[in-house]
């Protein structure tokens, strides 16, 4: 019954009254994963566009500045 119902909508499984997992049909899962992939791709494209504009406007930083900002030891 749970598997059949999960084809139409996500089913919440609880443990001691608290939600612990969702059971979802394969089609819905695949659709959600594709939506996530498209959103991540769009976010990456927007980040690149912003970086390109900043670079075009003269907004640059050195590798050493980035290493320092993120606490990375250089070579």
pLDDT tier for residue 75 given thresholds of 50, 70 and 90: low
Structural domain boundaries enclosing 20 = 2-69
Helix (H, G, I), strand (E, B) or coil at 42: helix
* Backbone φ, ψ for residue 60 (5° rounding): -125, 160
**In this predicted model, what pLDDT tens digit does every residue of 13-22 receive, in sequence order?**
999 999 999 9
* 75 in any annotated domain: no
* 49 in any annotated domain: yes
Total domain count, the chain: 1
Burial class (CB in 10 A: 0-12, 13-18, 19+), 16: exposed
Q: Provide the mean pLDDT of the chain.
A: 90
In the block, residue with structure tokens 């500045």: 65
| Confidence (pLDDT) at 34 | 97
Residue 74 has pLDDT above 80, yes or no: no
């Amino acid at each position: 019954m749970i598997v059949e119902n999960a084809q139409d909508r996500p089913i919440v499984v609880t443990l001691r009254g608290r939600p612990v997992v969702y059971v979802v049909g394969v089609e819905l899962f695949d659709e959600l994963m594709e939506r996530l992939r498209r959103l991540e791709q769009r976010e990456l494209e927007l980040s690149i566009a912003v970086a390109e504009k900043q670079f075009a406007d003269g907004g640059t930083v050195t590798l050493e500045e980035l290493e320092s900002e993120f606490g990375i030891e250089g070579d």
